[in-house]
Structure 1
Amino acid sequence: MSGEPDDVEIRQQQADDRHGIFHVNQAAFGRDFEGRLVERVLAEARPVVSLVAATPDEIVGHILFSPVMLPGYADLKLLALGPMSVMPSRQRSGIGAKLIERGLAECHRQGADGVVVLGYPEYYPRFGFAPAASFGLGCEFECPPEAFMALELLPGALAGKSGDVRYHPAFSAGG
C-alpha cells in the first residue's frame, strides 16, 4: 500500500476545517451535493468519525463515518463510510487509502461492530469489505448489490443478522 505524501497529515476534523471539507468534497465530486450532505450529517448525527488529510496550507482529503441502523438489532453498532473525497490533483497518491485505514481503526477504537459502504466494488475489498448480501444485509437505497459492502470490525458481529441497513435521516434530506 502506498504511503501518504510527506506533506499530508491525517487527523481528526477540527471546528475550523468545515470550509476546507466542503471545498474538497466539491472539488472531488464536481458539485455541492456531497459537501452539503457532510454538513448535515456533522450537524445532526452522533457518533461520527470525521478525519481530514491536511497539508500546512489546505484540506486535501476527507472521510466521514456516520451511524446507520439495522432494524431489529438495536444493540448493533454500525457506521457507514462516506462520503470520502480527495482533491483531484492528489488522487491516486495513497491519501484515500490512509483515510480509510485510519478511519476504520478509529471506528474500531470507538467500539463499532461493523462498517458498511456504498461504493466501488473494485476498490473497497482491499480493506476487507465484502458484499453486504453475503452477511444478509441490503441497502435502503437502490443500488447494484455488489456496490453495497460490509466489514465486521468485531468478528461475528453480523452473523445471523439480516435486513436493510437504514442510513441517518440526513442522507434522505434534500440537497
Structure 2
Amino acid sequence: MQIREEQPSDYEEIYQLVQTAFKTAEHSSGTEQNIVVKIRESDNYIKSLSLVGILQGKIIGHVMVSKISIVNNQNTYNSYAVAPLSIVPDQQRKGYGSQLMKEVISKAQKLGITHLTLFGDDHFYHKFGFETSIEYGIKTDIPCDEKNCMVIQLQEHGLTGINGIIKYPDYFFK
C-alpha cells in the first residue's frame, strides 16, 4: 500500500470511504465523514497528518490528526487527536490500518508533536503504544468506557505536567 498526504481531489472519495467504513463499526456516531469535512474547514486541520492509503490506484484507507485541547482549572494544553482512522470494509483486518497508524505516528513525532489522543478499540491501539489516558490524569467529559480513551507519548516526557479534560471542538458532536 502506498501512503501519501490527502489532496483536494481525494475529498469526495474519502467522504464515501469514511461513511462506508463506519456504517458497521462498533463505535460510531454515524457522522465521522462530516467530522472529516469540518476538520478540514477549521484551523485545527494539519494537512501533513491527513493521510490516505492507496492500493491498486484506489484509496482504501484514511487517517487524520487534528488539533484539540486538554484543559484543567489552571491551564489549556495543546493536544492532538487521531480521528478518524478508516479502512474500506473489504480491506479491513489485512494490516492496512496498522500501516496508516504507524505512518501518522511517525510523521507526528518528526513534527515534534509530544503526544496523541484518541477514542477507540483498546486492543487495536495498545499495539502502537497507546495507553489509557486516565493513567496520566487525562479524562474526557464524553460518555464512554475509560479504556477506550487513550494517549501515546511521542517524545520523552511528552505528557509531563499535562492533565485535565480532553476537549474536542464542537463540530465533533454536530
User: Whose strand proportion is higher, 1 or 2?
Assistant: 2
Correspondence list, 1:95-134, <5 A: 95-134=96-135
1:50 maps to a residue whose letter is: S
Q: In structure 2, how many angstroms separate the alpha carbons of the residues matched to 1:153 and 1:77?
A: 14
Aligned position for 1:91: 92
Aligned position for 1:15: 8
Q: In structure 2, how many angstroms separate the alpha carbons of the residues matched to 1:160 and 1:55?
A: 42
Aligned position for 2:36: 38
Aligned position for 1:26: 19
Correspondence list, 1:66-85, <5 A: 66-71=66-71, 72-74=74-76, 76-85=77-86
Kindly state the Cα deviation for residue 45 of structure 1 after the two structures are TM-superposed.
3.5
Unpaired runs of at least 5, structure 2: 25-29
Normalising to structure 2: TM-score of the pair? Answer: 0.88
Question: Which range moves more in the overlay, 102-111 or 143-152?
Answer: 102-111
Spell out structure 1 runs of 4+ moving beyond 4 A.
Answer: none
Mapped contact 2:61–2:87 kept (Cα < 8 A):
yes
Paired residue secondary structure (1:142): coil
Instruction: Kindly report the root-mean-square deviation, in angstroms, between the aligned alpha carbons of the 2 structures.
Output: 1.6
Aligned position for 2:27: none
Post-superposition CA distance 1:46-79 (Å, at most 9, x none): 34220000134321000011111112444x4421
Task: Calculate percent identity across the aligned residue pairs.
Answer: 25
Q: In structure 1, how many angstroms separate the alpha carbons of the residues matched to 2:12 and 2:62?
A: 12
2:40 maps to a residue whose letter is: L
Kindly state the Cα deviation for residue 160 of structure 1 after the two structures are TM-superposed.
3.0
Matched pairs, number: 165
Paired residue secondary structure (2:122): coil
Paired residue secondary structure (1:101): helix
- Using a 3 Å threshold, how does the CA distance of structure 1 residues 163 and 126 change in structure 2: closer, same or farther? same
Kindly state the Cα deviation for residue 133 of structure 1 after the two structures are TM-superposed.
0.4
Kindly state the Cα deviation for residue 100 of structure 1 after the two structures are TM-superposed.
0.3
